[in-house]
A and B are shown apart, each in its own frame.
Chain A
């Protein structure tokens, strides 16, 4: 488990992180979401021990990470700017990682390379951008570390590849309790992969929650009432936790917090002509949640 306690980091006059508290549970895919400059990369660099915080502490399995090689052996960081040695092939990189990460699984790595159609003897500099990203994820997964920190690694990958990676993550989570931490500014792409998401904005985490929990506790309801006088105020007074309400013609669209059955039961008492629960996208969940907290999510992420 990674615990982030009151982390602050400044770069000259710029405050990158202004006192962050969060925790990342083991064996879950954590999505770190935020706009460019929100502090995602800074946080990942702090988590991987590349840079030192100005204040606060980061504990990885209750141990400090900075200049702690034992902890760093359990963390692999994939930067948004990928780096491979000059003229190196995947084979060379495997040899390099084998020396550094004791649990590196060469066989697994070669199997993945073959599965992804990457030639282990070809020079990496001749790979496309997407292939390089695939290679970095393969190396990261093969390193056998407990934590895999990915900075914008999946941005630009096609949905098939994202699904493949998700299943690989799921496999690793089940087999050895891998905890991937994925930073991105793209909510749509994160939705396929993450179990838990934290929204970072202006150096602080606005909220951090389990995506399934969010999906289970927040619903989009579309309905048409016979009685035109039914308003959201009436429904609220009746105990419905309405986060958002829109009315287009006679169709009401509510975003309501609470259990699905409970919401349907309550709405049914108003004898709607039509009612339907529609699944919420991660984007909609974020819109709802952030608007509740007074932020305009569209300005932040989308």
Chain B
């Protein structure tokens, strides 16, 4: 096409040719936007707020609008993806037809011009109706619900969604240019979506099995998946990221990958041989790369699959499955590429390369010639270290152990912590005294040399002798590198080292976000006492502004000085929570995201009440004194004075299935005539903590499947009571008369006690 035939003419020519597709896209958007908006807003007016539409607040309208048309609405995301695939396919599918390819390539038009016109036209066919319909929907919402400001939101949501549209559009373009027929295109799309994931699963499984000290932490896993399989990850995130939605950086990443894919498609299209239309893979070099990648990945995955399936390791099965996986992948890929059964017998250079690579990989993992599994840096090269051990990180406070919030990364941004995610903690934790961590690491390395594959007998609690403890260690080297390892070892052998680490103020400062608070920016503080009702219903008292700063200083100092020995000897008597605006804002934002997307689900919205409670121990004299000065009685719940009776009774299940918590006649143990000493020893041994390795629950004393109720009667007040979940006895402090009573009641006393402490004592 000569210069007088402008690009615009090509664009309009392609548009005219695809007018039918454009019409269908418009219909799709009209249904998704204006029509759906009419339906939804009608529903809101007629049913939800029929009495008073003005109750439907503007902020709620924002949330609802974002819920329907946001990047995190899975239904909308899938619909939009379908439209995108349709637009990309109608533009480029002619490349699968030799007849059409010959026709278009015989015309006097430069390839890059034709491709660009088709590519841009397809995008415009999505963008223009999408934007118009989104704006129209916003106007409908505003008009029918009487509010303003949705236009801006609709444009923001449009921009966010367009990032994913461009990613899908670019990848589909790339797939079509690389392949020559629809079947191959579908297979290639599958490979693009899942190859990275499958390859990573295989390699990660090999690492976990053979080089298990190099365990890959879940944040790295997610990061890798995002980078290698963006399309899959994008959709996975739509469904599974509950906390922050799809971050802007991810969206920008999708946009960039989409644009790069489009550009690579253009480059490949320029050299795409016309005669390859109708074949499977258009570029011979790509054939070999795909062959090697797929056969290697499937072979490695198959080798790991058998172990994943059996939760047991067998070297013989590993090798058999490696060979079976390779052969099956070889047959599959050859058939897919050549569509000729004889091609299966073709053993070429790619087969030799892939086979050698697979065997070499297995050898690298099994024999570990580089010594990666037993690697430990020289002490002189280490600047600081971090140690994460589950039990060490639990602070004996039931609330804290469940809902602590940890800082993430160097920016100290907030993030809700999952059960085991030491990755971020280890990044921040920098213990300059490396004696104890290094000794732990050395013990871990000795064990790594002892076990050729990952020992399966381990857990976070190390609750029995035959279980190994799992400890994550990070080395922050002087050259700036951070290296992490996970060791499996006998906790007994390193318990003194772990205690030493806990006693180190650097550990607490690195581990707990309470030390990140700028005391000048404190916005409040609450103390939860165990007086009155115990457990989650315990009274929470907000402190006055004047005392907050003073209390913060006292608490952080005393918590820093708390030793591991003290926290085991003592038990928390209350909990404290310091509030700051940044955290409150974070939780508010979290809560709002949940509301947007999971209004009907059972998800518990994060509230300030659930997070960042820190324990107060009896030895925190200054903290307790300051609290009492402000009228908060912390120790009162533990005083023996005035106790008239303590009852421990079994909780019966009634026939109708409901629990009957209190019935006089069901009381199993009634300690009415307790001596002052008994009362003292009873209250002294009582703890709120029910963690198995710290305390002995009532249930474990006898029939662990039954619930027990403890009631403490005091003079002149209502009885206090709690359920067995909230009460337990401190380690090794089960009062004799209680133990004796249960011993009499149950001949095989201690049978259900998994901690071993009771049987040791009795």
Interfacial residues, chain A to chain B (CB-CB below 8 A): 11, 45, 48-52, 67, 69-70, 72-73, 75-77, 79, 81, 83, 85-87, 96, 99-102
Query: A102 contacts B102, CB within 8 Å?
Result: no
Query: A79 contacts B102, CB within 8 Å?
Result: yes
Query: A81 contacts B109, CB within 8 Å?
Result: no
User: Which of B2, B17, B275 is close to A73, meaning CB atoms less than 8 Å apart?
Assistant: B2
Query: A96 contacts B106, CB within 8 Å?
Result: no
> A67-B111, A69-B1, A85-B17 are known contacts; what are 11 more A-B pairs with Cβ within 8 Å?
A48-B106, A49-B105, A50-B274, A51-B274, A67-B110, A73-B108, A75-B106, A79-B103, A81-B102, A99-B1, A100-B5
With CB as the reference atom, state the residue of chain B lying closest to A68.
B108
Query: B2 contacts A102, CB within 8 Å?
Result: yes
- Check if B248 is an interface residue, CB within 8 A of chain A: no
Query: A81 contacts B99, CB within 8 Å?
Result: yes
User: Which label, helix, strand, loop or mixed, suits the secondary structure of the B interface?
Assistant: helix
Kindly state the separation between the CA atoms of A76 and B103 in the bound complex, as whole angstroms: 10
Greatest chain A CB density within 10 A among B99, B103, B107 is at B107
Total chain B interface residues with beta-carbon distance under 8 A: 24
User: Which of B5, B100, B109, B275 is close to A83, meaning CB atoms less than 8 Å apart?
Assistant: B100
Query: A99 contacts B100, CB within 8 Å?
Result: no
Chain A residues within 8 Å of B17, by CB: 85
Kindly state the separation between the CA atoms of A99 and B102 in the bound complex, as whole angstroms: 18
Q: Which of B710-727 contact A (CB under 8 A)?
A: none
- Check if B13 is an interface residue, CB within 8 A of chain A: yes
Say how far B43's CB is from chain A's closest CB, in angstroms: 40
Chain A residues within 8 Å of B111, by CB: 67
Query: B13 contacts A45, CB within 8 Å?
Result: no
User: Which of A51, A69, A76, A79 is close to B109, meaning CB atoms less than 8 Å apart?
Assistant: A69
Query: A72 contacts B4, CB within 8 Å?
Result: no
Say how far B16's CB is from chain A's closest CB, in angstroms: 8
Chain A residues within 8 Å of B2, by CB: 69-70, 73, 102
Kindly state the separation between the CA atoms of A75 and B107 in the bound complex, as whole angstroms: 8
CB 8 Å contact bits of B100-135 with A (1 = contact, 0 = none): 111101111111000000000000000000000000
Query: B274 contacts A69, CB within 8 Å?
Result: no
Kindly state the separation between the CA atoms of A74 and B274 in the bound complex, as whole angstroms: 20
Given contacts A81-B99, A83-B99, contact A102 B106 (CB under 8 A): no
Query: B110 contacts A100, CB within 8 Å?
Result: no
With CB as the reference atom, state the residue of chain B lying closest to A101.
B108
Count CB-based A-B contacts (< 8 Å): 65
With CB as the reference atom, state the residue of chain B lying closest to A48.
B106
Query: B106 contacts A50, CB within 8 Å?
Result: yes
Kindly state the separation between the CA atoms of A79 and B107 in the bound complex, as whole angstroms: 12
Chain B residues within 8 Å of A101, by CB: 108
Query: A51 contacts B5, CB within 8 Å?
Result: no
With CB as the reference atom, state the residue of chain B lying closest to A88.
B17
Chain A residues within 8 Å of B13, by CB: 96, 99
Kindly state the separation between the CA atoms of A69 and B275 in the bound complex, as whole angstroms: 19
Chain A residues within 8 Å of B1, by CB: 69, 73, 99-100
Query: A79 contacts B99, CB within 8 Å?
Result: yes
- Check if B9 is an interface residue, CB within 8 A of chain A: yes
Chain A residues within 8 Å of B636, by CB: none
- Check if B152 is an interface residue, CB within 8 A of chain A: no
Kindly state the separation between the CA atoms of A101 and B273 in the bound complex, as whole angstroms: 24
Say how far A210's CB is from chain B's closest CB, in angstroms: 28
Given contacts A69-B2, A83-B103, A99-B9, contact A52 B273 (CB under 8 A): yes
With CB as the reference atom, state the residue of chain A lying closest to B94.
A83
Query: A51 contacts B9, CB within 8 Å?
Result: no
With CB as the reference atom, state the residue of chain A lying closest to B108.
A72
User: Which of A45, A52, A69, A83 is close to B108, meaning CB atoms less than 8 Å apart?
Assistant: A69
